[in-house]
Amino acid sequence: MSSSHTLGGTSRPGRILGPSLDKIIKNVAWRKHAHLVSACKSALDKLETLTDSPDPNPNSPIFGYSLADAESFLQPLILAIDSASVKVVDPALECVFKLLSQGLIRGEIDRPEGSESQSIGFRVIDSICKCGGLTDDGIELAVLKVLISAIRSPFVLIRGDCLVNIAKTCYNVYLSSLSVTNQICAKAVLAQIVMIVFARVEEDTMDVKVKAVSVSELLELSDKSLSDGSLVQFVQSFINEVMEGRELQNGGGAVSDAIGESGGNGQLNEGGESGADSKIREDGVLLFKNLCKFSMKFSTQENPEDPLLIRGKVLSLELLKVLMENGGPIWRTNERQVFLC
């Protein structure tokens, strides 16, 4: 471990995890977060012994590692994100972003029904959503970048409560951030999430091409006053970077391999023949339902003209407009969605 390029061993995930864990160790207050330091050091030692597996476990949340190893490497990242220390949270978020953008985090992520236990993938996303309230501009942007990367990845199926939680986190940044740039980024991320989810609804598959949202068009309605040229350019570049990403390795058939075993893409199209919605289309209905609910929230008698509530409702209506403009025949004919309309 004489130089930074050897940190984490020779495996693909290790080359990302190693430098990130090392940076967390250097930035964290050792006395206050002794458990985090110990977890990072243990993970670094383990990474040095691993190579890319020729027969990767399809149930593992990190491609190329066993389930137990993957959990031992993600746990320090969760502890770092939960630390509430900006210098520690930032490298942890950047690490998760890189793992997602290179297709190394995989699987179906949802809260298990009827069980108090949570998967390591769910705990990662849950911690990221919670740290969005740190009110640090840089952390807010990093959270948005990780969340849209998780939704964008064809190797990760974000489902149910986890999908709704991601949407709520972006709403909170839009409504409460002190940074105008972050507010617009959050709005653009939400619009992009809508476009990704419903492009998949139309094809009933994870691996679809989705265009990047036009930030200037998105600001033409309620946020036109914020449409500063440099701001729009920054946010558009932010969205483009995530949407273009780095070319994912192990593509093609690996999409079904990545989440099929955990109840994901391998079973996504089975609903078509039985008349039931597939998981992808179920989540499309769920997102649509929640957008409708967000747009119909009522104010209290004590504060009938709550500006945040009104702004949130307007945002919901704008997102529904994005959906209607980009939705295809499946969305327009789905009985459950037509009923909600």
pTM confidence score: 0.89
Give the start-to-end residue ranges of the domains of the chain: 9-135, 178-246+278-340
Bridge partners of 62, per DSSP, are: 105
More confident residue, 16 or 263: 16
Does position 76 have pLDDT exceeding 60, yes or no? yes
Structure token digits, residue 93? 């978020």
Which pLDDT value is given to residue 252? 43
Residues in the chain: 341
Q: Does residue 114 or residue 129 have the better pLDDT?
A: 129
User: Which whole-number Å values give the CA distances from 279 to 46, 198, 271, 331, 337, in the listed order?
Assistant: 36, 12, 8, 14, 15
Per-residue model confidence as pLDDT tens digits over 219-278: 887 777 766 788 999 999 999 999 987 545 444 444 545 555 444 443 444 444 444 578
Give the helix ranges, DSSP H, for the chain: 12-27, 34-47, 67-82, 86-101, 120-131, 137-152, 160-176, 180-203, 215-218, 229-244, 254-260, 271-274, 279-295, 307-326, 329-333, 335-340
Query: In this predicted structure, what is the pLDDT of residue 279?
Result: 93
CA-based nearest residue to 207, from 261, 128, 268: 268
R_g of the chain, CA atoms, integer Å = 20
pLDDT of residue 264: 42
Neighbours of 120 (CB within 10 A): 20
Question: What is the average per-residue pLDDT within 97-103?
Answer: 96
* pLDDT greater than 70 at residue 86: yes
pLDDT surpasses 80 at 312? yes
